[in-house]
Amino acid sequence: MADTRKPTFKPRAGTRPGVVSAERSLDDPVEVPSGAATGKDSNVLAFPEPKGRKRRRTVLAVLAVIVALVAGIIAAAIYSPVFAVRTVTVDGAKLLQPAAVQKALEPVKGKPLPQINDAEIAALLKPLVQVRSVSTEARPPSELLVHISERVPVALVKNGDSYLLVDVDGVKLGSTPDNASVPLPVIDGQGANQDLFKAITAVLATLPADVLAKMASASAKSPDAVELKLTDGKIVVWGNADEKELKARVLEALLKAPANPKVPVNVYDVSAPRHPFTK
């Protein structure tokens, strides 16, 4: 701002009479307008911090604290002995002996629940061939629930003086000395090659349990010519593996149909499931 004060004049010593020299005294005070900045930073104006930026910084700080607390809680849970396994409960075991399952899972006892996963349990139960798959469920603070899905036997295979129970993959699940004690069809595991064996077991695995229980035997001249024999001597012409689920439903319906004494049925042909027939 321009200084509007009038300069102070005084005669300079030694000047000639009639000549006036003007100068401003350095001792004269200089007025500074109220609110004006002084010093080195007199030309810098300070602005207050925007509210939005301050709020974001506060939110980020709070989130950082929360993340750190959550991480600490998770780490404590993973390694804390409070969540150590003390009880192992198993469901779904029918072929398996409960004692065998408990013995196989003994290594997980004392281990914190968060450190246990399905892959570890599956590895421990792998020697038990009856187990197809497993899943686990943690029940804090100390119980582990293991769900077992067992392999399902679909046929009996003659093996010397006994019969082996096998599933759709041909896995041996057990044995019995009397095939009449197990409601499963007998197949020739020695005479059939691998392709024929798989074709037969795939058909048997598709059948509902009540229909499977009525089967006495199963055979195949080729993968496209699977044939089943019922316990009452009647024959089921199955054909190939195409539309096997539909064939199973059609066969179930035919077996449930009322018998007509005047027209006895000896053969059920479901090889063309949309046009089945009996004879």
pLDDT tens string 79-107: 666 778 999 999 998 888 888 999 999 99
Q: Is the pTM of this model over 0.75?
A: no
In this predicted model, which residue has the larger pLDDT, 62 or 180? 180
pLDDT tens string 43-79: 665 556 676 777 787 778 778 778 877 766 665 555 6
pLDDT over 70 (residue 10): no
pLDDT tens string 226-272: 999 999 999 999 999 899 999 999 999 999 999 888 889 999 999 99
Percent of the chain at pLDDT > 90 equals 53
- Distance (Å, whole) CA 134 – CA 122: 6
Q: What strand order describes the sheet that includes 215-220?
A: 172-176, 162-166, 155-159, 186-187, 215-220, 226-230, 235-239, 267-269, 277-278
Helix (H, G, I), strand (E, B) or coil at 245: helix
- Distance (Å, whole) CA 110 – CA 115: 11
> Which pLDDT score, from 0 to 100, does residue 37 have?
46
